[in-house]
Amino acid sequence: MKWLVLLVLVAFSECIVKIPLRRVKTMRNTEHACRLSQISFRGSNLTTFPLRNIMDMLYVGNITVGTPPQEFQVLFDTGSFFLWVPSVFCRSSACSKLVRFRHLQSSTLRLTDKICRITYGSGRIKGIVVRDTVRIGDLVSTDQLFGLSLVEYGFEDIPFDGILGLNYPNISSAGAIPIVDNLKNQGAISEPVFAFYLSKYKQEGSVVMSGGVDQRYYKGELNWVPLIQVGGWTVHMDCISMKRKVIACSGGCHADFDTRTSLIQGPSTLVNNIQKLIGARQRGSQHYVSCSGANTLPSIIFTINGINYPVPAQAYILKDSRGHCCTTFKENKVSSSTETWILGDVFLRLYFSVFDRGNDRIGLARAL
């Protein structure tokens, strides 16, 4: 299906008319640990929202927009920062099966003079920017800036209505404030922290939590990793190895944590080498292995900040709709001057992940 292709691709630009240049602050090689604040654990500040697992390919949750509230199913995305849902005026075929926002029915809607254009790897939208009340469970963000799509391309047959971005506001010339920032500024959450627990196979059980973390979803201690720079959920990765041999990221590289991406993506030559090492054969756009031997394949180790994070074959090999076993490694089509790997849901199902905007860091622990 087309939406499976969309999920593994990265957004190129955000919903803004013009893009300002700004200097970013480097996070590595600083006395970062000395200034970290305490994260709330299962306290009154913690709010948990259920997510629905769709075929182990993406995780969606419900929000409401407007007064009275209109409900939408959205993808919670750490790879972008903007929120958008379809407008009732969207006439694209991609919108025909989606829930569309009826702005005339909302008493709290405010129009702006901005338009938005968001381009993803295989799809794009164009729309208008408005303000209204957005609710995520019990959390309420008033006067939230977001987009209403008027035109959508490449989003046919997607199983969600819109996207709710959770990244830093790194491209924000239209004054777009991400919903996490708005919730913090309005006192709805005490800390700009959110975390993901992603279930495997089960449709229910996955959650995204805001304002803190719930220790019932992981075991051991959270291992904190500083961001390379403010502006995105990117950290330094030491190496990728298999059977005690480095197979990628040999001199260190970047790792992006992206909940919109279902697979693990990396540079073409290195991904192809991993496919060969595990005996995968290409058929069409996918690489397959023998299902009978899949469980005997070795784990692939991602070493981050000195900690090993194994990804076993049971995680990086999935069965498709025909019962064939395909790998979850994919070429990253977005070129970069630095070797970059995108760790999507395949990795995040194994490791409970905490995104701490207040301290510019990511926490990882083995998921239960």
Residue 254 buriedness (CB in 10 A; 0-12 / 13-18 / 19+)? middle
Three-state secondary structure call for residue 229: strand
Structure tokens at 46: 């913690």
Question: Using H for helix, E for strand and C for coil, what is the string for 70-109?
Answer: EEEEEEEECCCCCEEEEECCCCCHHHCCCCCECHHHCCCC
Let me know if 77 is a catalytic residue: yes
Pick the catalytic residue: 56, 77, 161, 256?
77
Three-state secondary structure call for residue 271: helix
The b/e string for 180-206 (b: 16+ C-beta within 10 A; e otherwise) is: bbbbbeeebbbbbbbbbbbbbeeeeeb
HSE-CB for 16 with a 13 A CA cutoff:
19
How many whole angstroms separate alpha carbon 145 and alpha carbon 130?
A: 6
Let me know if 345 is a catalytic residue: no
Pick the catalytic residue: 258, 345, 356, 360?
258
Catalytic amino acids? 77, 258
